[in-house]
Amino acid sequence: MNESLGCARRASLMEMASGTTILGIETSCDECSAAVVETTGPQAFPLKVLGLATYSQVSLHSPYGGVVPEIASRNHLETVNPMIMGALSEANRQFSDISAIAVTNRPGLVGALLVGVSAAKAMAYALNKPLIAVHHLEGHIASLFLEQNILSTEKDFPCLVAVVSGGHTQLHVITEPPEKWGDSLLKSTMVGRSRDDAAGEAFDKTAKILGFPYPGGVWIDRQSQGGDPKAYAFPRALPDKSILEFSFSGLKTAVSLQVQELKKKGALDAQIANLCASIQEAIVDALWSKIKIALGRYSCRSLAIVGGVAANSRLRQKLQHDCPVPVYQPLPQFCTDNGAMIAAAGAIRLSQGKSLDRKSMLTLNAVAHPDS
Ligand code: KG4
Ligand code: ZN
């Protein structure tokens, strides 16, 4: 984190316990979301989600088979204020009740990020509240602490955290509870990532080949019910056990060739469930095989899985059945992009005294790249 430390309201975790209220804003891609999250009990976590308002742009991007950046940013402009007001109203809170504002400023589509960042900067400056710049993937990890009390004791660490979203597939070994997370948490803990497509992207691209609308992950999940996961032997890339990386780009080529062949035979429609189940199995297998290696290599005592793909039913089932350590997941409503997870990450950083002061908040920028 680049932000200057020690905004006037530097709060310890114990101080945070006395009802700190964070407004979180997320506009990094195709969800415009705001949430009001509050600390409740004697501990900073779990965080209570008092209000959450999300506008999904899925129907706007669906005809194009993927997110159109210009459409995303223009639409965020129209929806960001209603989402903020919606979250406040559901929470029954006013601007004056807010302790701090957290916003995703990286990574993502720059035009889309800028809408949330500008709104958050303006509010924080006008209301004289601390501003916290949040890394989107740190937000996904912090979604674990929404409405559930997990990873609160040392016995869960090291914890392997798998971030599986539409844009990223990364493995992190986190050795300490959130109050001790360093500024470069994501960089310092990463032990594996995808060389090309993310797992969610693999779902979305193969779903597109099958003719399902964007985003396709949930369609493949649904259509797999009743299909045979062994019907088609789609590739599992990088089987070498010494490599903790993923590669999903070969999968879409294999699916595309198979679909062409079935189309020629006029057999595609009858095979949709089998194709979906086989695609899903290939992605879940690839994820699980590398997770298993990482759990052993780093002697992890728990596994946490976050991001949109964490909602996948087969992945959840496989982890529950096969994983030798406790498995933690966000509640399903907090898996895909939302403002509450950004507020949660903001709460962690605020508790460490890491927020932007009035001067430095004005120069906060949006950044596209994940390693920033
Ligand atoms: O985390 P997220 O909301 O956005 C990013 O940060 O990318 O994840 C969206 C991704 C999409 O690729 C979507 O297809 C996938 O999560 N997804 C799923 C499921 N629900 C969402 N993939 C597989 N099975 C699901 N049930
Ligand atoms: Zn995300």
DSSP letters for 33-81? EEEEEEE-SSSS-SEEEEEEEEEE-HHHHGGGTS--HHHHHHHHHHHHH
pLDDT in tens, 9-62: 334 444 554 589 999 999 999 999 999 999 876 566 789 999 999 999 999 998
Residue nearest (by alpha carbon) to ligand 1 atom 22: 217
> How does DSSP classify residue 299?
T
Q: What separation, in Å, do the N-terminal and C-terminal C-alpha atoms of the chain show?
A: 9
Q: Which atom belonging to ligand 1 lies closest to the Cα atom of 199?
A: 12
Q: Are strands 100-106 and 31-39 parallel, antiparallel or unpaired?
A: unpaired
Q: Which phi and psi (to 5°) does residue 160 adopt? A: -85, 120
Per the prediction, the chain carries an average pLDDT of: 92
Cβ 197 under 6 angstroms from ligand 1: no
CA distance 68 to 65: 9
Structure tokens at 217: 């992950």
Cβ 203 under 6 angstroms from ligand 1: yes
Task: Name the band, by pLDDT with cuts 50, 70 and 90, for residue 64.
Answer: confident
pLDDT of 229 > 60? The answer is yes
pLDDT of 204 > 60? The answer is yes
Cβ 26 under 6 angstroms from ligand 1: no
Give, in degrees to the nearest 5, the angle at Cα 45 between 40 and 49.
60
**Which is nearest to 79 in space by CA: 54, 108, 113?**
54
Q: Which residues surround ligand 2, an ion (CB under 5 A)?
A: 165, 337
pTM for the complete prediction? 0.92
Minimum-distance ligand to the CA of 166?
A: 1
Cβ 307 under 6 angstroms from ligand 1: yes
pLDDT of 97 > 60? The answer is yes
CA of 51 to the centre of ligand 2 (A): 19
CA of 7 to the centre of ligand 2 (A): 28
- Residue 2 has a pLDDT of 39
Cβ 194 under 6 angstroms from ligand 1: no
CA distance 260 to 268: 9
**Which is nearest to 242 in space by CA: 293, 171, 194?**
293
CA distance 174 to 156: 10
Cross-strand bridge partners of residue 190: 172
Alpha helices in 172-216 (DSSP H): 185-189, 199-209
Residue nearest (by alpha carbon) to ligand 1 atom 13: 217
Residue 189 CB-density burial (10 A; 0-12 exposed, 13-18 middle, 19+ buried): buried
CA distance 82 to 206: 34
Cβ 167 under 6 angstroms from ligand 1: yes
Task: Name the band, by pLDDT with cuts 50, 70 and 90, for residue 153.
Answer: confident
Alpha helices in 128-248 (DSSP H): 136-142, 185-189, 199-209, 217-224
> How does DSSP classify residue 216?
-
CA of 159 to the centre of ligand 1 (A): 22
CA of 200 to the centre of ligand 1 (A): 5
In the predicted model, what is the mean pLDDT of residues 151-164? 92
Cβ 200 under 6 angstroms from ligand 1: yes
pLDDT of 1 > 50? The answer is no
Cross-strand bridge partners of residue 26: 33
Minimum-distance ligand to the CA of 198?
A: 1
Q: Which atom belonging to ligand 1 lies closest to the Cα atom of 204?
A: 14
Q: Which atom belonging to ligand 1 lies closest to the Cα atom of 140?
A: 1
Q: Which atom belonging to ligand 1 lies closest to the Cα atom of 136?
A: 6
Residue nearest (by alpha carbon) to ligand 1 atom 7: 166
Cβ 334 under 6 angstroms from ligand 1: no
CA of 261 to the centre of ligand 2 (A): 34
* Dihedral (Cα; 278, 208, 223, 325), 10-degree rounding: 60
Residue nearest (by alpha carbon) to ligand 1 atom 24: 312
Cis bond before residue 235 (omega within 30° of 0): no
Cβ 51 under 6 angstroms from ligand 1: no
pLDDT in tens, 280-335: 999 999 999 999 999 999 999 999 999 999 999 999 999 999 999 999 999 999 99
User: Is 28 within 8 Å of 104 (Cβ atoms)?
Assistant: yes
Q: Which atom belonging to ligand 1 lies closest to the Cα atom of 283?
A: 23
Cβ 107 under 6 angstroms from ligand 1: no
Cβ 199 under 6 angstroms from ligand 1: no
Q: Which phi and psi (to 5°) does residue 22 adopt? A: -115, 135
What is the sign of the dihedral through the CA atoms of 218, 138, 367 and 188? negative
pLDDT in tens, 102-137: 999 999 999 999 999 999 999 999 999 999 999 999
